[in-house]
Amino acid sequence: MFKHTIVRRPAKSMVEGITSAPELGKPDHALALKQHDAYIEALKACGVDVLVLDALEDYPDSCFVEDVAVCTRAGAIITNPGAASRNKEKDYIVDAVKKFYTEDQMAYITAPGTLDGGDVMMVGDHFYVGLSERTNAEGIDQFTKALAKFGMTCEAVEMKEMLHLKTGLAYLENNNLIVGGEFITTPVFEKFNRLEVSEDEAYSCNCIWINDNVIVPAGYPKTQAKVEALGYNVIVVDTSEFRKLDGGLSCLSLRF
């Protein structure tokens, strides 16, 4: 069960954030704030407290706070984001994370290792980490050693198409896994009860489980129906403005 979440408010500068889909247009900051408000309320409805951090105008993508830390039941790991324009965001999350962990429960990924939290999927005390354009082998090696100190394990996942591992995966606990795109045929995930997402709803792979609730993005009825069929309480949140920056539901919070 999760008790805590950390989010960061979207900066006005988000209109200049990184995107692989310029055809979607630039984000509307005012609408993004409203969507972020709804996201925070959804988190609270799942029974967690929410620490809301101020926007960082110097970092357009900084609302995607998941990428700068990985918070576990036993310790936290400050990452080293692989995108140059985002790398220093990690320096602004440390104080917030230290509100919940002691110094000996902290670890840090350092250069030449890179690691984005969006490439990390937690399944109990085992972690799957995508080897992506943002997360390299050295980063995964450091992450594995840090987890070992916390009594946890890790394995790397080869990937070729997705931005982040969790672009195409969402673990819903109880062995249930939302899976899409290239990960549908990845052997390591065959042992899970897989909810396959069709290409036309690919964005909806990025859902989040919190205390037997599942938050899903608005506009993807087939995925929503599959999650509801498993008995979860589903909360729908519109993330259209964050999608324009390649961001989804999991990207917007740290959950622990």
What is the rounded CA–CA span in Å between residue 171 and residue 84? Answer: 29
CA 20, 110, 254, 146 torsion: positive or negative? positive
Query: Which active-site residues does the annotation give?
Result: 164, 251
In sequence order, which residues have a C-beta less than 8 Å from that of residue 124 and are 6 or more positions away? none
Element (H, E) at 136: none
210, two tokens: 């919190």
CA 213, 217, 218, 222 torsion: positive or negative? negative
**Residue appearing with tokens 């070992």:** 148
* Strand-pair category, 126-131 with 120-123: antiparallel
Is the bond leading into 81 cis (omega within 30 degrees of zero)?
A: no
CB 136 within 8 A of CB 114: yes
